[in-house]
Each structure stands twice: as structure tokens, then as C-alpha cells.
Amino acid sequence: MVDTSTGTTWAASPDRYASTDYRRAGRSGLLLPPVSLGLWQNFGDDRAPETARAILLRAFDLGVTHLDLANNYGPPYGAAESRFGQVLAGDLRPYRDEIVVSTKAGYDMWPGPYGDGGSRKYLLASLDQSLRRTGLEYVDVFYSHRRDPGTPLEETMGALDAAVRSGRALYVGISNYSPEDTAAAAAILAGLGTPLVLHQPRYSIFDRRPEAGVLDAAEAAGAGVAVFSPLAQGRLTDRYLRGVPEGSRATRSTYLSRDDVTDDLTARARALDEIATGRGQTLAQLALAWVLRDPRVTTAIIGASSVEQLEGNLRATQGPPLGDDELAAVERWAAPTGESL
């Protein structure tokens, strides 16, 4: 694609794989970068398209081959998939086979009884819509975004199996499932011949609930783990160390408010920032290194509002492994094992 700002045609860096050590997703053959790019909050119609394009292309140049989407990422719903589709059509199409694209369905998407939940009707219709928005013939990973208690688990897993058998997805995953439902879902999928490849839970220094069974259940099922919100929606970055700045996510997002940036979390973040400084890292880099310390974690999914933020966070993998003393220091300020602050 010709970049209108420079008049040049974009081409991927020939060194894009030089500095990334990819991790295997469980017992599958799928390899993912340790840090993946999520398009949850910064790729909707409320953001400049040229910024989204720059972030996506720079991520690929730095070896980030995994891009994580969902049907309702925006705003409005579907916008992130459409924006990715535009960049794919204009720049990334020649590199399609070097990219892992995941998307999900499970939360509210369109009006009426068939636009939410875990039914076969909703999941497969949503996948078809996602393919149209992205311009893809198939997605690499299709997730059930949440356990729908109103739908039999056999029906939801059957829909994931059907997505693979129809050629619309290569692998399947689940997100936000309990340990018990993870085990049950994996067993159903194994019986169908379409193994569970990824589980996507929320996991960070401030939210350690996956340690209460989800990580173990994924490992027992042979699935990898792709964690989201490893930076606690910015609370494990330098953004909120001195209050809530105007224009930050806590002032404009429906998923994070000023009330979520408590004095206690701010004090903990400052203490963790001192530990990070002692390692020659930013707080965000420390937070990413911490979730990636666990071999059950395949990849940590981050957002990015700028190329500079993306580049800084990707440097988390360049630091030394966390030592026992450093882990003990982090533990003092982290959520208790299996709990969330």
C-alpha cells in the first residue's frame, strides 16, 4: 500500500523475527509471541485510523504475529475488526500466512435473542460477520468469549467444532471460563476431535484469580494460556502513579473508572515501580515479565495507544528473568494468590 504521508510502499522489516522467542500454545503446534497485540480499546472509530495502522505495522515489524480481536471491540461494535480489515487489505495481505488472527463471540453484539450468549446460532453467525468485516477467509483462533449458563456446554463446544470443520477457523479457544467449565469444555472438544488450544483469562499482578485453578485446568487440557489485561488496564503502568490524568482510560472507558484507581492500588503500583526501576525496567515491563514468568502462560495480550507505548512494552522480554528476591518483593504488593484487588 502507498503511504500517503510519505509516498512510499510499505514492506515488512526483513528482521522481524530476529529477536522474538516464540512460545508453544500448550501441546499444540501453534507458536505465539510472548507479547501479543490486542485491539480491544484503541482501534475503534473514536481513534485516528493512521495511528491504528502505524501500531499494527510496527507490531508486525517487531515480531508480534498474534493479533487478538472480538466481534464487539470498537466502538462501535465491529469497528476494530473492520479497521484491522482495512490494514490487512492495504498492507498486510501479502503476509497473511505469517499472522495469527483470533476473534471471539459471546457477549452482546446485536439486538434480539440471537445476538448474545453461547448458542450455535449466535456463534456461527457472529463468525461469519467477523470474516466479512476483516476480509479473511478464516480466522486462526475462534473463541467462546464467555460461558453462557443458558446454553448447554455441548452446544457451544459443538459450534466451535463446526467452525473448524467448515474451514472458518483453524483452532478454538475459550475465555473467562471457570476451572470446572474449562475441564468440561476441553473434554467435550477432545471427544469431537477438535482440541482446546487456548484459554484467555484476565491475569495480572493485581488479579491472580487464574491461579485458583484456571491455569492448572488449561495445562491439564493441553491448552496454552493467552492472558488479557496483564497491565490491569493501565494501573500497572506509570499512567496512574500520580492520580488520574485527563484523557486517560479511567476518564473515558466503560471498563475502567476513576473509582477503580484507588489509593491502595496507587500505593502498590508506586512500590512496584521502585522494584521495576531497580531492574532497569518500567512498571509495565515488570508487570509483563511477571505474568510471563509462569511457563503455563503462552502470551500476554496488551493494548497500545501509540507506537512508542507499544515499543516500550515489548521491551519487557529483553530484561533478565525475575529472581527469587524480586519475586518476593513483588509478592508483597501483589494481590493474594488466587484473588483480585
Chain segment 117-168, per-residue pLDDT in tens: 999 999 999 999 999 999 999 999 999 999 999 999 999 999 999 999 999 9
Query: Which residues are paired to 317 by β-bridges?
Result: none
Cell output for 75: 466502538
Domains with residue ranges and CATH for the chain: 19-234+294-322 (3.20.20.100)
Give the E-state strand segments of 8-105 in sequence order.
8-9, 23-24, 31-32, 35-38, 66-68, 100-105
In this structure, are residues 288 and 313 in contact, taking their beta carbons and an 8 Å threshold? Answer: yes
> Considering the entire predicted model, what is its pTM?
0.93
Report the pLDDT averaged over residues 263-292.
Answer: 96
Which pLDDT score, from 0 to 100, does residue 4 have? 47
81-104 pLDDT tens trace:
999 999 999 999 999 999 999 999
* Amino acid sitting at position 128: D
d(CA 68, CA 128): 17
**323-324-328 Cα angle (round to 5):** 120
179: exposed, middle or buried (C-beta count within 10 Å: 0-12, 13-18, 19+)?
middle
